[in-house]
Amino acid sequence: MISQNQGSKSKVMDWVTDAVFYQIFPDRFENGDTKNDPPNVEQWGNVPKSNNFFGGDLQGIVNKLPYLKDLGINTMYLNPIFAASTNHKYNASDYLKIDSAFGTNELFKTFVQKCHRSNIRIVIDGVFNHVGTAHWAFADVKEKGVDSKYFSWFNIFSLPVSSPSKPNYECWWGYGSLPKLMAQNPEVKTYLFEVAKYWTELGIDGWRLDVPNEVPHNFWKEWCSLVKSINPDCYIVGELWEDASPWLRGDEFDATMNYKFRDACVKFFTQDKTTPSQFDADLARTRALYPAEANFAMQNLLGSHDTERYFTLCKKTLWRMKLSVFFQMTYVGAPMVYYGDEIGMEGGKDPDCRRTMIWDERKWNKELHLFYKQLIHLRNSSEVLRRGEFRIVQTDDEHETLIYERSLKNQSAYIILSKNKRTRNITLPLSATPKQMRDGVTKEQLSFTGDKVILQVKAHSGRLLFVNY
């Protein structure tokens, strides 16, 4: 069952529980306005490198809103959009300005409005641990040294400030291109609070916070309090790869990007390193770490801009990908789709996982795209799949089968996932004698005897049943 942490001050926001996230790396999604292309923009579809650009922008995303709506997406997470010199924008030069390659601040306002009219919410990336060397405050320090009024914003070891190749200042993981901000400095705090206020008041629906574990807790408590005072339903999710419980006590973040979920899925579905019972144990340990509210608000991802493409990890084995998606869309928490995963895009580690989106439908995996669409719409139309309590019904290691239940009010959804190589008949024990039972995918009414039902489950596949009591 879901952990119930009585010490939590957080609450489940309905819209987050109902969310299906779609992560977009803006430079690589769609070029909607060639007039704002950066210099030396490359042809769409070329090999991605750490330092090349393809011209994707906000207008391109706007142009593809019908595609996202058709897929069933209702929430969008954007990698950084602030002014920066790189294609990834994690080295901000100005937090209060949209990067010129993506558009303008005015266009972003329009962008938010158009997304909201399409019933799509917007979560943006907040990178507040560090800036780029071109940031106006760091540039001033580099020019003026101790005479700069921003000198205390950074931890400078010696003067003059050296080049990024041999940094003599504190930076993120030793990367001289990313000087670290001293978040405990009152002036830095005031500045970053102004940034949070500006974009939250503009109408965004959430913040994804980059490497928040490298920023003090007291900063986040105050920062989050400010954001929630502007919009109590603003979603705050941290990029925390390990145990995130210190940040999920109700006074900092609502949830994390659930990399522990991804790790468990990779080991079970793609690598066959765990059995169904071990897979269950891995997930149960993660759920037990967090309050129920956080578990329902987790971003459950299979891949991101920081990982290999999941379909690549599956070695393009379709059934492994489909079973993983089946689980992702029916598990507790909010699923997040990394752009292009739904059409079978491939890619290794960064930067290969950041290839340009493929818009030529002839190159799509049509079966996978249809499967994603079907499962997303099924989740969107089924309250029990979004908000139901979670319970493991059966783990069968011998036959590589997992059965679990989502229950809400007088309805249950039973999900059977089989990695078995053969079609099998499975006896499903029910909580009680049902009034009605139907196949969740085909909508076929099913017969049953008492509190049990015998179901045929095909090799390497899953089944979903809706049961009314």
Catalytic residues: 210, 239
Cis peptide before 335 (omega within 30 of 0): no
Give the angle subtended at the CA of 405 by the CAs of 245 and 398, to the nearest 5°.
Answer: 95
Spatial distance between the Cα atoms of 195 and 135, rounded to a whole number of angstroms = 14
Cross-strand partners of 418: 401, 461
Residue 141 parent element (H or E): helix 136-144
Does residue 173 come out as left (phi exceeding 0), alpha (psi in the -120 to 50 range) or beta? Answer: left
Query: What DSSP letter does each residue of 296-321 carry, written as one string?
Result: HH-EEES--TTS--HHHHTTT-HHHH
Of 353, 350, 331, 328, nearest to 340 (Cα)?
353
Spatial distance between the Cα atoms of 180 and 231, rounded to a whole number of angstroms = 28
**Phi then psi for 50, rounded to 5 degrees?**
-65, -20
**Phi then psi for 438, rounded to 5 degrees?**
-140, 155
- Give the CA distances from residue 14 to residues 4, 64, 232, 237, in Å, rounded to whole numbers and listed in that order: 18, 26, 12, 15
Q: Check if the beta carbon of residue 40 is closer than 8 Å to that of residue 75.
A: no
Cross-strand partners of 208: 125, 237
Cross-strand partners of 432: none
Buried b (16+ CB within 10 A) or exposed e, 275-312: bbeebbebbeebbebbbbbbbbbbbbbbbbbebbbbbb
Give the angle subtended at the CA of 382 by the CAs of 378 and 383, to the nearest 5°.
Answer: 150
Total number of residues shown for the chain: 469
How many C-beta atoms lie closer than 10 Å to residue 177's C-beta?
19
